[in-house]
Amino acid sequence: MTPPRQTTGSRPRIVARRRKGRALDGVVLLDKPYGLSSNDALQEVRRLLNAQKAGHTGSLDPLATGLLPLCLGEATKLSSYLLSADKHYRVTAALDHETETGDIEGQPTEYALVALPRLEQLVALLTGFVGQLAQIPPMYSALKIDGKPLYAYARAGQTVEREPRPVTVHALDLVAFDAQAATMTLDVSVSGGTYIRTLVEDIARSWGGRAHVTALRRTGVGGLVGAGQMVELTRIESDCRGQNAPDGLTLPTWLLPVSRLLAGWAHIDLDDEQARRIGMGQTLGGFPDLAPGPIRLNGPDGRMIGLGQHKPPNGLSPLRLFSRPLA
């Protein structure tokens, strides 16, 4: 029999568990190194900064390098909105065979049996891949079917039927083509969810050839441009070395304000009363011409208080609010 709970006449006090680490809000534009998974990179940066909360805006394959935006603190509330953002890549492909994974890690599966196109023919072929396409996801991908990622089926030697998915190629530029070495390099701008490995295979198959990715670098995500903005993991390690005290780390210059994630987004500046009502979850009237999609909301001091959305016919309602105003 359980003994009765003893009380002292007052209600027991509930103490919330304190999160470990520092309450940092910001964005790190990491230049992810080759061979490291996106989650491993995220956890390493989180550890180095001793941050309470961290997330990323869409993973890169371990073999890919380049822009991996990492969100800290309140910035994690925005990460899901960048998953579907347009992505920009530079990709190099070998034009001699396909592999089971679509990249240099996989075993060869099919070899090219036809000659490569001439330069002018290749340029003409590439124009046919700009616009909306129907793309079948590769077996070696994290897309889940029946609750199981496709790569798990592939590693078990199974092939699962996949439905084509609509994707958009906004731009496709030929950077280099070496017929003797059988390689090409492309700059690609695509909608979120586009598989570059599959795009490369489909391009080669358009002339009867075969191809696989040998190098892939992400150069942009939405309005974020990696060139000149990214920080390498070795720099982060160097800057954080020996500064383990929770409050002893001076904020580095590469820890950017949360607003950097929303570069180029439409915004609305609210006055005190409007900001108060939005903060209480109320819908504001007098906004008939808002475009669909999330809208950045700024308080009267210019700092962000969250995201809003159009509520027909002329309303503005809160979509995601921050715990505190952010720069």
3-state secondary structure the chain: CCCCCCCCCCCCCCCCCCCCCECCCEEEEEEECCCCCHHHHHHHHHHHHCECCEEECCCCCCCCEEEEEEEEHHHHHHHHHHCCCCEEEEEEEECCEEECCCECCCCEEEECCCCCCCHHHHHHHHHCCCEEEEECCCCCCCCEECCEEHHHHHHCCCCCCCCCEEEEEEEEEEEEEECCCCEEEEEEEECCCCCHHHHHHHHHHCCCCCCEEEEEEEEEECCEECCCCCEEHHHHHHHHCCCCCCCCCCCCCCCECHHHHHCCCCEEECCHHHHHHHHCCCCECCCCCCCCCCEEEECCCCCEEEEEEEECCCEEEEEEEEEEEEC
Distance CA 231, CA 226 (A): 9
Please report, rounded to a whole number, the percentage of residues in the chain having pLDDT higher than 70: 91
Q: Which residue carries 């009765």 as its tokens?
A: 4
Band (160; pLDDT cuts 50, 70, 90): very high
Specify the pTM: 0.88
The reported pLDDT for the residue numbered 6 is 52
* In the predicted structure, residue 14 carries a pLDDT above the cut 80: no
Q: Give the pLDDT mean for 157-162.
A: 92
The reported pLDDT for the residue numbered 278 is 96
Q: Give the pLDDT mean for 58-81.
A: 93
CB proximity list for 88: less than 8 A, separation 6 or greater: 187, 188, 189, 190, 218, 219, 220, 221
The reported pLDDT for the residue numbered 234 is 95
Q: Which residue carries 């599966």 as its tokens?
A: 109
Angle at 239 (CA atoms; ends 236, 241), nearest 5 degrees = 100
Tell me the one-letter amino acid at 9: G
Distance CA 221, CA 204 (A): 26
Distance CA 53, CA 71 (A): 8
Q: Which comes out higher in pLDDT, residue 41 or 244?
A: 41
Q: Give the pLDDT mean for 246-256.
A: 73
Q: Give the pLDDT mean for 196-216.
A: 97
The reported pLDDT for the residue numbered 84 is 85
Which range is least confidently modeled, 50-59, 179-188, 314-323? Answer: 50-59
Q: Give the pLDDT mean for 113-121.
A: 96
The reported pLDDT for the residue numbered 188 is 98
Q: Give the pLDDT mean for 269-283.
A: 96
Q: Cα separations (Å) of 236 from 80, 233, 255, 327?
A: 25, 5, 10, 22
The reported pLDDT for the residue numbered 244 is 47
The reported pLDDT for the residue numbered 236 is 94
* In the predicted structure, residue 246 carries a pLDDT above the cut 50: no
First to last CA, the chain: 57
Q: Are 204 and 183 in contact (CB under 8 A)?
A: no
What amino acid positions are annotated as catalytic residues?
61
The 10 Å Cβ neighbour count of residue 114 is 10
Band (4; pLDDT cuts 50, 70, 90): low
The reported pLDDT for the residue numbered 263 is 81
Band (156; pLDDT cuts 50, 70, 90): very high
- Across all residues in the chain, what is the average pLDDT? 90
* Tokens read off for 157: 């030697």
CB proximity list for 81: less than 8 A, separation 6 or greater: 294, 307
Band (251; pLDDT cuts 50, 70, 90): confident
* In the predicted structure, residue 5 carries a pLDDT above the cut 60: no
Which range is least confidently modeled, 25-29, 48-52, 242-246, 307-311? Answer: 242-246
The 10 Å Cβ neighbour count of residue 165 is 14
* In the predicted structure, residue 26 carries a pLDDT above the cut 80: yes
Domains annotated for the chain, with CATH where assigned, are 26-84+225-258 (3.30.2350.10), 90-214 (3.30.2350.10), 265-326 (2.30.130.10)
Distance CA 308, CA 173 (A): 36
The reported pLDDT for the residue numbered 245 is 40
